[in-house]
């Protein structure tokens, strides 16, 4: 289960991307997560996924 708080979610997702997954798409497929919902939640705190950096910035 993902954290509900967007700042905690940001930290969790970026850590997962850094440590285990080459892309957001791969992470969402592997963990059976809704990518659109994650991007929407993090956009609400002005973070967007950067493919080149493989993290939300």
The rounded distance, in Å, linking the Cα atoms of 26 and 33 is: 10
DSSP conformational letter for 33: -
- Percent of the chain scoring above 90 in pLDDT: 98
Determine the Cα–Cα distance for residues 7 and 9; give it in Å rounded to an integer. 5
pTM: 0.94
Return the pLDDT at 1.
Answer: 87
Encode pLDDT of 28-55 as tens digits: 999 999 999 999 999 999 999 999 999 9
């Amino acid at each position: 289960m993902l954290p509900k708080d967007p700042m905690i979610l940001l930290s969790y997702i970026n850590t997962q991307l850094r440590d285990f997954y080459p892309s957001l798409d791969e992470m969402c497929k592997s963990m059976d997560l809704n990518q659109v919902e994650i991007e929407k939640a993090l956009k609400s705190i002005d973070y967007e996924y950067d493919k080149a950096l493989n993290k939300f910035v």
